Amino acid sequence: MKSCLAVILLVLVINPAFAVVDPDPNSLGVYFDLEAESNYLDVDPATVFSAYVTLTDPTWDHVRAFEFGYELMVPSGMEGSIFRLAEILPPCSIDIEWRDPLGGDYIIGMGLPYPTSEATVLVQWVFLLIAPMTIEYYLGPSSAPSVPDNLPAIMNDENIIMSVGISSGDVNLPVAEVNTGHQPVPAQMASWGGVKSLFR
C-alpha cells in the first residue's frame, strides 16, 4: 500500500513539471502540439501537419500585441517542396501583411486582450511537404524591434512591452525540427535522487 501511494504521489508531483518542454517563464518556441510538449516531428511526404508558435509559462494574464521574426531552414533546392496551407492568428488580431512561408516577421496587435495559459498559441501554421526533407525553425526579433535586446517582444494588457526568451536559448539555434533525427531542446528530467528526497 505504501509503495502504491508513493507511485501515485510521484505521478502527481512530476506531471505538472512536464507540461511544457521549456521550463523558463515567458519563452517563445515552435511546437507540434497544443500543449508545447513536442518540438520534434517526423513527417512523411504528402502529410499535412501543424506547427504552433507558442508562448510558454507567461507571467501575465493577457497579451495585447506580439512581435517576432522567423526563418525555416530547408535543404538548398527544396524550397518549392514545402507549402504553408494556412496561417491562423488569435481572434481580433490586426494584421494586413502577407509573409513568405520560409521567413518573415509578425508584428501583431489585438483588438481585445488575448488570455494566456501555460501554453498560449500565438500563431498556427499548417504545412504540407511534397518530398522528403528536413526543416529547422528559428525565432528571433522582428525586423523593426520594439526592444533593443535582439529578442521577440510581447505587450501585456497594461501596455507594457517586454522581451521574451526563445526556447532554444539562442537565436542561432533552432527551436524546433522536422525529420532531422534529433530533438533541439531536450525536455527537463528529474533525477531519481531528487524524486526520492520528496518522500523522506
**Is pLDDT of 46 > 70?**
yes
Residue 104 forms part of a structural domain: yes
What confidence tens digit (pLDDT) does each residue in 101-134 have? 999 999 999 999 999 999 999 999 999 999 999 9
CATH number of the domain within which 10 lies: 2.60.40.680
Q: 166: pLDDT confidence band, cut at 50, 70 and 90?
A: very high
Total number of domains constituting the chain = 1
Residue 197 forms part of a structural domain: no
- The pTM score is 0.82
Q: 185: pLDDT confidence band, cut at 50, 70 and 90?
A: low
Residue 90 forms part of a structural domain: yes
Provide the residue range defining the domain that includes 117. Answer: 2-192
Instruction: Give the per-residue pLDDT at 21.
Output: 67
Residue 200 forms part of a structural domain: no
What confidence tens digit (pLDDT) does each residue in 18-35 have? 456 677 899 999 999 999
The whole-number average pLDDT for the span 80-87 is 96
Q: 98: pLDDT confidence band, cut at 50, 70 and 90?
A: confident
DSSP string, the chain: -HHHHHHHHHHHHHGGGGSSS--SSSEEEEESSTTS---EE---TTEEEEEEEEEES-SSSEEEEEEEEEEEE--TT-GGGEEEEEEE--TTEE-----BTTEEEEEEEEEEEEEP-SEEEEEEEEEEESS---EEEEEE--SS-SSSSSS-EEEETTS-EEE-EETTSSTTS-SEEESSSS-SSPPP---HHHHHHTT-
Residue 199 forms part of a structural domain: no
Instruction: Give the per-residue pLDDT at 182.
Output: 86
What confidence tens digit (pLDDT) does each residue in 50-65 have? 999 999 999 999 999 9
Residue 106 forms part of a structural domain: yes
Instruction: Give the per-residue pLDDT at 13.
Output: 37
